[in-house]
Every structure is written in structure tokens, then in C-alpha cells.
């Protein structure tokens, strides 16, 4: 089948197949799966932000890409809600989410969320969205396409800066569009994801299969494809606070205090709480490459964790 498609379309298709059929949590561990404290901090954060918004009765709490539903289940202990909204495409993961968050309503995109004030949480969601990839050749910019498991370059149909020959640029149109839709409805959204503070050149696309790096073009649907999130590109389009490094964000919001408290309460799990807090904050683990960024209307003051 000689189907040629743009790289972002390939990535979208490959990831939809991956999340529909595979258990991603055999391939990688995410923050909410390491410790309940992660979701609890985000729940407390959301509740405080709601109060800063004037505590509207009709507030909507939502999460994008909720994985196993662990983050939301933990968040709801700190801020109980009658109903929450989950944006998830995978039927398999929706079933897992239902077991932990029985009071959820599911959506395929932002478009079907009810109207009204919205707080959205998303951990490792934006990095799963497809990116367009461009490479600078002697004759100009080319956009990467995929055909029969190999890259094909076609002349780019958008303007890009005049980088040196051989440079690669990525554009995450899906992430930018997602953020613009949130901004248009004056939502507050908290994204935790990995990516540099400044836009960085080069390809950041990675494929993880069976816990190891793999070729992104091989066996689409067998590997998880991600790209670093270009926070600066998002900040250029919508109002944000941050990004700040995940360790500063979580430490400022009491990660260690809450972990110590739970360690004393559940002595047989004390070591888990300590190790998870370490892993989330150590610069060589998840503390530094991961960032927190809050999208919010301009009139809001500094949100918790973004005071500096
Ligand atoms: N937030 C979870 C899971 C991260 S994995 C955690 O931290 O553990 C990425 C999640 O995003 C999965 O739930 C996946 O199914 C979902 N996802 C990926 N692309 C999506 C899309 N385009 N729309 C909605 N959900 C998507």
C-alpha cells in the first residue's frame, strides 16, 4: 500500500492505534503512577485556582489524556466533585478510567465540553500530540512525509526562518490549536510535560516500544510516539504562567511535606513515598526536563506554584 502521508498524520494514526491496543504503562511510568501525592497536589491546586476565579458554582473540572485515571482519582480526594470530564480517545483506557473515576463523562475533544468556567489538568498529554517536521535543504525547507516505512521529503508549504542547511524544525499544530481553544473560552489549564524552556532546534520525536527506544517509522501502533513540548511556541500564542521546572513546582506546593505525612501514616509504604518524591524532583530523573505551565486569562494573579 503506497500511501504517503505527512509525518504528523502518520504520528496521529500510530498513536491512536498504540493507545487503543497496547498497555502504555508497561512501556513507561508517569508521575501519577509513581505516587498519589502528584494527583493530590494537582487537586489542591485546582481547588485553589477555582477560589481565585471567584468560586463559580458551575465550574467544570476536566482532564486531557487521563491514562489510567489515577491522577483524577487522587485529585478528587482533595477536591471532591460530583462530575468530571475526561478527554480520551482510547476505549481501552476509558474503561480503566471508569474503574477509578466512576463519575466521569468522556469526550473525544474539547469541543463537546459543556460551556462555563473550566479548569483542565493534563500530564504527559501534549507530548503525545502529533508534530509536523521540517528539514532545511540547499533548495529550501522540506516537510517530512512517510511512505512505506521511510521518510519522503516534499517542499514545505509554510514559511520558516532561514536556518542553516540540515536544520530540523518541529511544529506542534495540534498542541497549539488545543491551547488556543482553551484560551478562547478563558479556561485555566495546567500542563505538565517535558520539553525545553526555550525553543530548541532538531528532532525531538521518540518512539518507546517495550520500554526501549525504537524506530518511529517501524510497526506503527506498536510504539508510543512523543515529541518534546515547545512551551515557548505555546507562550507566543496564548497567555501563560511559567513554564517552571517540575521540581520547583511540586516542591513549592508541598510534595515533600505531604509525602512525609503519608510515610508516617503508612509505614509499610514509607519508602515508596520517599523514592517517588525523589524521582519526581531529581534533576537527572523527572525534576528538570519536565515543566509545569499554566494557561490562564490575563486578569488572574499569580497561580500557586508560579509565584516567581
Ligand atoms: N496522563 C496520564 C497518561 C499519559 S499517556 C498519565 O500521566 O499517566 C497519554 C494519554 O493521552 C493517554 O491517555 C492517551 O490515550 C491520551 N491521548 C493521546 N492522544 C490523544 C488525543 N489526541 N486526544 C485525547 N487523548 C489522547
pLDDT of the residue at 204: 95
User: Which of 125, 176, 192, 276 for mutating ligand 1's site (highest number of atoms within 8 Å of CB)?
Assistant: 125
pLDDT of the residue at 26: 81
Task: Determine the distance separating the centroid of ligand 1 and the alpha carbon of 162, expressed in angstroms.
Answer: 34
pLDDT of the residue at 27: 79
pLDDT of the residue at 112: 98
Mean pLDDT of the chain: 96
Cβ count within 10 A of residue 4: 12
Q: Is 229 helix (H, G, I), strand (E, B) or coil?
A: coil
Q: Where are the domains of the chain?
A: 5-294
Task: Determine the distance separating the centroid of ligand 1 and the alpha carbon of 166, expressed in angstroms.
Answer: 32
**pLDDT-derived band at 1, boundaries 50, 70, 90:** low
User: Which of 23, 128, 130 for mutating ligand 1's site (highest number of atoms within 8 Å of CB)?
Assistant: 128
Instruction: Kindly report, residue by residue over 119-142, the tens digit of the pLDDT.
Output: 999 999 999 999 999 999 999 999
Say what the pTM is. 0.96
Task: Determine the distance separating the centroid of ligand 1 and the alpha carbon of 34, expressed in angstroms.
Answer: 17
Please determine, looking at this structure, whether the domain spanning 5-294 carries the CATH number 2.102.10.10: no
Give the mean model confidence (pLDDT) for residues 75-81.
98
Give the mean model confidence (pLDDT) for residues 245-262.
98
pLDDT of the residue at 201: 85
Closest C-alpha to ligand 1, atom 18: 128
DSSP letters spanning 100-152: H-TTEEEESSGGGSPSS-EEEEEES-GGGS--EEEEEETTEEEEEEEETTEEE
For the cut 60, the answer to whether the pLDDT of residue 55 exceeds it is yes
Instruction: Kindly report, residue by residue over 264-295, the tens digit of the pLDDT.
Output: 999 999 999 999 999 999 999 998 999 999 99
Ligand 1 atom closest to Cα of 90?
15
Closest C-alpha to ligand 1, atom 17: 65
Ligand 1 atom closest to Cα of 63?
1
User: Which of 11, 17, 19, 74 for mutating ligand 1's site (highest number of atoms within 8 Å of CB)?
Assistant: 19
For the cut 70, the answer to whether the pLDDT of residue 244 exceeds it is yes
For the cut 70, the answer to whether the pLDDT of residue 2 exceeds it is no
**pLDDT-derived band at 186, boundaries 50, 70, 90:** very high
Dist CA 264 CA 160 (whole Å): 55
Q: What angle do CA 176, 181, 184 make, to 5 degrees?
A: 120
User: Which of 89, 91, 179, 279 for mutating ligand 1's site (highest number of atoms within 8 Å of CB)?
Assistant: 89
**Ligand 1 site, CB within 6 A:** 15, 19, 24, 30-33, 65-67, 71, 87-90, 93, 123-125, 128-129
Output the CA torsion 47→51→54→58 (10° steps): 20
Which cell goes with 9? 498524520
Instruction: Kindly report, residue by residue over 189-232, the tens digit of the pLDDT.
Output: 999 999 998 888 889 999 999 889 999 999 999 999 999 999 99
Give the mean model confidence (pLDDT) for residues 52-65.
98
pLDDT of the residue at 200: 86
Residue 229: strand pairing partners: none
Amino acid at each position: 500500500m503506497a500511501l504517503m502521508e505527512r509525518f504528523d498524520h502518520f504520528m496521529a494514526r500510530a498513536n491512536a492505534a498504540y493507545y487503543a491496543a497496547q498497555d502504555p504503562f508497561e512501556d513507561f511510568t508517569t508521575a501519577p503512577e509513581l505516587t498519589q501525592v502528584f494527583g493530590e497536589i494537582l487537586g489542591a491546586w485546582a481547588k485553589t485556582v477555582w477560589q481565585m476565579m471567584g468560586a463559580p458554582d458551575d465550574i467544570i473540572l476536566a482532564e486531557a489524556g487521563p491514562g489510567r485515571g489515577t491522577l483524577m482519582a487522587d485529585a478528587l480526594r482533595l477536591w471532591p466533585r460530583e462530575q468530571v470530564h475526561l478527554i480520551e480517545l482510547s476505549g481501552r483506557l476509558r474503561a480503566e478510567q471508569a474503574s477509578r473515576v466512576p463519575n466521569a463523562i468522556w469526550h473525544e475533544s474539547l469541543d463537546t465540553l459543556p460551556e462555563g468556567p473550566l479548569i483542565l489538568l493534563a500530564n504527559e498529554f501534549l507530548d503525545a500530540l502529533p508534530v509536523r517536521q521540517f528539514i532545511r535543504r540547499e533548495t529550501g525547507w522540506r516537510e517530512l512525509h512517510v511512505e512505506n516505512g521511510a521518510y519522503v521529503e516534499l517542499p514545505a508549504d509554510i514559511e520558516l526562518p532561514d536556518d542553516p542547511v540540515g536544520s530540523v524544525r518541529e511544529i506542534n499544530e495540534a498542541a497549539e490549536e488545543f491551547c488556543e481553544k482553551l484560551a478562547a473560552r478563558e479556561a485555566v489549564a495546567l500542563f505538565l510535560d517535558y520539553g525545553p524552556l526555550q525553543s530548541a532546534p532538531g528532532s525531538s520525536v521518540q518512539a518507546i516500544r517495550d520500554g526501549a527506544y525504537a524506530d518511529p517509522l517501524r510497526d506503527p501502533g506498536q510504539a508510543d510516539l512523543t515529541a518534546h513540548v515547545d512551551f515557548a511556541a505555546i507562550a507566543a500564542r496564548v497567555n501563560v504562567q511559567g513554564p517552571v521546572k517540575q521540581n520547583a513546582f511540586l516542591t513549592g506546593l508541598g510534595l515533600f511535606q505531604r509525602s512525609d505525612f503519608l510515610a508516617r501514616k503508612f509505614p509499610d509504604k514509607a519508602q515508596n513515598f520517599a523514592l517517588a518524591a525523589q524521582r519526581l524532583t531529581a534533576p537527572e530523573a523527572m525534576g528538570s526536563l519536565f515543566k509545569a505551565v499554566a494557561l490562564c486569562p490575563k486578569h488572574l494573579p499569580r497561580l500557586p506554584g508560579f509565584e516567581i
